[in-house]
Structure 1
Amino acid sequence: MSRAAEGRSRGRIEERGSSLRVVVYAGTDPVTGKRSYLREKVDGTNKAAQKRAEKVLNRLLTQADEQRAPSSSVTLSYALDEWMRLTEMEDSTRKTYEGYIARTIKPALGEQPAKKLDARTLESFYNELRRCRARCDGKPFIEKHKSDEPDHDCQAAECRAHKCRPMAASTVRQIHAILSGTFGAAKRWGWLNENPALIARRPKQKAPEPDPPTAAEAARLVEAAFKMDADWGTLVWLAMTTGVRRGELVGLRFSRVDLDAEVIDLRYNWVGGKEKDTKTHQNRRIALDSETVTLLREHRKRVEQRLKKLGAKFHEDLFVFSGSKTPDHSEPYSPNAVTQRYKDMATRLGIKTHLHALRHFSATELLSAGIDLRTVAGRLGHGGGGATTLRVYAAWVAASDRKAAEILGSRMPKRNT
C-alpha cells in the first residue's frame, strides 16, 4: 500500500470552521484497551493550509508507527508527549509545561531523534534562547501575524520589525526541567542509555532579591486598605502579619481559625479554582498576635451579620475572605482579583510594590527583630529546616546575626584595662 493510500486509511483531514484538523489512528492503548488517536490543528482552509495539513498527516503517521513499536529512534517530540501523558503534576504546572513544549521545545528539537541530542546540543539551545527567544539568525526581518492571504499587507499593525528578546534564565531553567524529566523517563523506558540533561549546564539561578515595603509604606498600605472597607483591611493586615501565601490566604476557612487558641491552621492552598495541599505539602499552625485576633473576631461578626441579612446561616466551613460576587462566603476571594486590587491600591498611593512583597515584609521584620531562622521558616512554610529562608533572606539574616553579636557583646563581663 502506498503512503498516500495508507494515510487515507489510517488518518483523515477534517475541515472545522476556519481551520483544518488532522486525525490519525494510533492503535489500541495496551493499558485501557481504548482506540487511540493523534490530533493536530492547522490554521486556515485554503490550498496552503491543505499542503501543511498533508505534511502534518505524514508526520503523525510516522509518530503513530513509533507509538506502536517504540524504540531508541523515537523523536524527542514523541518522548515529550509520552512523558507528559504519564507524569503526574499539578494542572497549573501541566498548562505551563504544555506551552513551553508547543512554543519553544518542539519547533526547535521536536523532530530530532532523542538519542542524538547531547549535552552540547542542549547547552547551545539554552544559549540561543538566552540570546533571542525566537532563535533568529541575527538578520533583520518582519514578524508577520498568521495569515494565509497571498496579498497580505506587512504594513499592518500586527506586523513589526523583529527585535530580539532574550528568554529569562528562570524560564530556560524550566525548559531544562522538562527536558531532564523527559530524558530521564526515556532512559527508564529503555529508549536512551543516558540522560544528557544531567550533564548539560543550565543557566544559573538568579539570587533572590526580596524587596519588601518599608515600615512606613506598610502602615500607609494597611491604613488605605481599611479605608476601602473593613474586610479588605483585615485581609491585607493578615497577609502582612502572617506572611502566608496568596492561595493559603484566600483558601482559609473559618474552621481553620481558632480565635481562642489564637492560631490559624494552614492545610490547604487555593489554586486554579481548586483546594489543594499547601505548596510544600506541609500543615502548619501560625500563632496570631492579640490585635490580629481582635480584628478577626470583628470580621467574623460582620460576616455573621451579613449572612443574616441575606437570609443565610453562618457555618464554620465558609471562607474567611470572599469577593463581592459571593457575599455569602461560599466561594473564596479570587486570587487574581486580590492581586489586582492590591496593586491598584499601591499604585494610587505611589508605592511600587506587589502582594507577594507582604510575605517578604513579614519575614524581614521578624528576622530584623532577632527571631530565629527556624521559627521564621516555620511561619512561612519553607522546607529544608530554614535553608530556603536563608537563601532568600540572607542579607536580613546577616543583619540579625550582627544584632545578636552586639547583644552578646553587651552582656559579656567588662575587662579591666
Structure 2
Amino acid sequence: MALGMSMLKAMSAARDQNRKRGNIEERGGALRVRLYAGTDPVTGKQVYYRDTIQGTNKAAWKKAENKLAEFQAKVAKQRSAQSSVNLAYALSEWMRTNELANSTRKTYEGYIDRTIVPALGETPVNKLSARILEGLYTELRRCRNRCNGKPFVVHKRSGEHDCEAAGCKPHECKPMETSTVRQIHAIISGTLDAAERWEWIDTNPARVARKPKQKRPEPDPPSPAEAARLSEEAFRMDDDWGTLVWLAMTTGARRGELVGLRFSHVDLEQEVIALRRNWVLGEEKDTKAHQIRRIAVDSETVTLLREHRERVRLRVESLGRKFTADLFVFTGTKTPDHVQPYPPNAVTQRYKDMADRLNLDTNLHALRHYSATELLTAGVDLPTVSGRLGHGGGGATTLRVYAAWVAASDRKAAEILGSRLPKRHGEPS
C-alpha cells in the first residue's frame, strides 16, 4: 500500500514536471506549443501559454522550440521575480504615502476593501499581468460580487434561521458600473506605478491593460414645462428649498458647489456668484476643476437671493446668533443657524421625492443639464456655456457632452445668417 502511494506521488510529480517544461505537439500539419503558466488568481483556472506554428518541417520545429523557450523564460521570470510583495501590501503602502483629499481617500478605501483586496490582495505584484487585470474587470462588469454564475441565496442572518422571515433573497447578478471599474483600474494602476518606482516590479501591467470604455454621456434634462413644475413645487414646499432649486436651474452649479456656497460668495450689488468651494462627504475642498469661477445671475435671481438672505438673517438672529457673511447659504433642518451646509445626500433625496410626487423621471444633476441645454438652444456661445459649467479643456468637455445641442445651435445660427443675406438675383424676395 505504501509502495503504491509512493508510485502515485512519483507519477504525479513527473506529470507536474512535464507540464512545467511544456510540450510541442504535431497536429493537422502544424505544431502546437503549450506551457503551463500557473493558476489565475481571479477565476482559479489553470493558465497555459499557447501558440501554433504552421508546418512540420525542420524550420517549423526550430521555431516551435524557440517559442517554447520564450514561454519558459517568461514563466521562470514570474517565478523568480525581485519581490514577493502582494498587492494588498502594495495598496496599503501606496495609500499611506499618497496625498489624497479625505473624501477621495474614503472612496478609495471602500473600493480596496470591498473589491480589490478580496479579488487580488494575496497575489504577488510581480505575478500580476494585463490578462489578470482584464479578467477582473470582465468579472466585475458581469457581476459586482464576482459570483460563479451558480444560483445561491443571500442570507440576511447567520446561523439557523427562517429565510422567509429574515428576508433572505436569491442572488441577482448586478454588473458594476463602467465608471466604477475604471476607478478601480486607476487605483490599481497608481499602486503598480509606485511598485515600479520602488523596484518591486519591472513594468506596470496596468499600463497596457484594457479598461472598460467610458460610456458616452447622454444628458436627459427636464423640458421647460417640467422645469417650471419642479420650480413651482419647490417654492410651494418652502422658500429656502425653492431658492436652492431655482439656483441649480439658473447657474448649472454642481450639487457640492451649491451646498458649499457661503453668503460671502454672493455679490448682490454686482449680481455675481463666485463658486469657490465644493462640499463632498463632509469635507470642504476645491471645486472639481480646482478653479474659482464667477457666474453672472439675472435680476430675478438677485431678488430671490436678497429675500433669502434677509430670511436667513432673521432666522439666525431669532436663535440669538449673529448673522455673518461666512454662514452657508443653504442648510438642513437640523442646523437652522446655517453654520453647516445642507447635507448633499439629503438634497438629492429630497429632490427625488419631489420629482416622484410629480411623476417626473429626473434627478438633481439633470438641472445642470437643463441649464446647459437651455443656454445652447438659445444660441449662447460654447465658451460662455463651458465657463458657467466649470468645464475644462476649452469647451471640449461641453462639446462632447452636449454635442446634439451644440449642433442644433449651429444650425440655428446658419439659418439666421442665411436669412439676413440678400436674395440671389432672379429669386423672389
Q: TM-score, normalised by structure 2?
A: 0.76
SS of corresponding position for 1:212: coil
Query: Is the contact made by 2:143 and 2:175 (CA closer than 8 Å) also made in structure 1?
Result: yes
1:218 alignment partner, SS class: helix
- Tell me which residue corresponds to 1:133: 144
User: What is the one-letter code of the residue matched to 1:135?
Assistant: R
Larger radius of gyration: 2
Deviation at 1:296, TM superposition (A): 1.0
Q: Does 1:353 align with 2:351?
A: no
User: 1:90-113 CA distances to partner (integer Å, 9 max, x unpaired)?
Assistant: 222222222222222222211111
1:57-83 Cα deviation digits (max 9, x unpaired)? xxxxxxxxxxxxx95221111111111
* Counterpart Cα distance in 2 of 1:345 and 1:162: 32
**Separation of aligned partners in 2, 1:313 and 1:95:** 35
User: Map of 1:157-196 to 2, 5 A cutoff?
Assistant: 157=166, 159-196=168-205
Distance, in Å, in 1 between the alignment partners of 2:179 and 2:222 is 24
Q: Which runs of 5 or more structure 1 residues have no equivalent in the other structure?
A: 1-69
> Given the alignment of the two structures, is residue 207 of structure 1 paired with residue 224 of structure 2, yes or no?
no
Letter in 1 for 2:263: F
After TM superposition, the structure 1 = structure 2 runs for residues 334-353 of structure 1, keeping only pairs within 5 Å, are 334-353=343-362
Counterpart-to-counterpart distance in 1, 2:166 and 2:375? 51
* Cα pair distance change 1:144/1:226, threshold 3 Å: closer
Conserved in 1, the CA contact under 8 Å of 2:156 and 2:166? no
TM superposition shift of 1:128: 1.6
Q: Percent identity?
A: 73
Task: Please say if 1:114 is aligned against 2:125.
Answer: yes
Asked if 1:95 corresponds to 2:114, the answer is no
Contact kept? 2:103, 2:283, Cα under 8 Å: no
- How far did 1:159 drift? 4.2
Q: Show structure 2 runs of 5+ residues with no match.
A: 1-80
- Summarize the Cα distance change of 1:160–1:390 in structure 2 as closer, same or farther, 3 Å threshold: same
d(CA) in 1 for partners of 2:330, 2:156 = 43
Deviation at 1:357, TM superposition (A): 0.9
For 2:322, the aligned partner's letter is K
Aligned counterpart, 1:14: none
Verify the 8 A CA contact 2:153 2:171 in the aligned structure 1: yes
Distance (Å, rounded) in 1 between the aligned partners of 2:188 and 2:356: 40
8 Å CA contact 2:272–2:297 kept in 1: the answer is yes
Q: 1:145 to 1:301 in 2, by over 3 A?
A: closer
Deviation string 1:246-278 (CA, Å, 9 cap, x unpaired) is 111111111111111110111111222222111
Give the residue type in structure 1 aligned to 2:174.
Answer: R
Q: 2:296 aligns to what?
A: 287
Q: Assess, with a 3 A threshold, how the Cα gap between structure 1 residues 153 and 320 changes in structure 2: closer, same or farther.
A: closer
Determine the structure 1 residue equivalent to 2:86.
Answer: 75
